[in-house]
Amino acid sequence: MQMLKKLEEAKSRKQVSEYIIMLHHIFCREYGWIPFEEFKKLPITTAFDLLEKINEDYEREREEIEKIKRKVR
């Protein structure tokens, strides 16, 4: 039981580490290479605000693509 709990904990930690890597990756794709030291020093709120804006941009682009697709059809 204890072992299972430990495994669950390790899994949740791994997931979190994946999210951090993913976040760095998304920022680099969007803004260009961000040095690791600079990335680490970003305030948490700032990072998630930027992510929100990236998502809004993607959403807008997706809607535009959908519109164009509909016109072509």
Partner 1 sequence: MDKIDLERQRKHLGKGGYLELNNEDGTVDKFYLNQLTLEDLPDLLYVLSKLQQAENPEAAFTALDKESIDIITKLALKSIKNSPDFKDFSEEEKKQFIVANFMPIMQKIFEINDLGASKMSADIEAIKKARTLRRLRENATFNANVEKTGRSEVKKASQ
Instruction: Work out which of 46, 70, 71, 73 binds partner 1, going by CB under 8 A.
Output: 46
Residue 29 binds partner 1 (CB under 8 A) = yes
CB 34 within 8 A of CB 24: yes
Handedness of CA 54, 60, 66, 69 (dihedral sign): negative
- Report the nearest approach of partner 1 to the CB of residue 44 (Å): 5
Q: At residue 58, what is the residue type?
A: Y
Q: At residue 67, what is the residue type?
A: K
The footprint of partner 1 (CB under 8 A) covers 12-13, 16-17, 19-20, 22-23, 26, 29, 39-49, 51-52, 54-55, 58-59, 61-62, 65
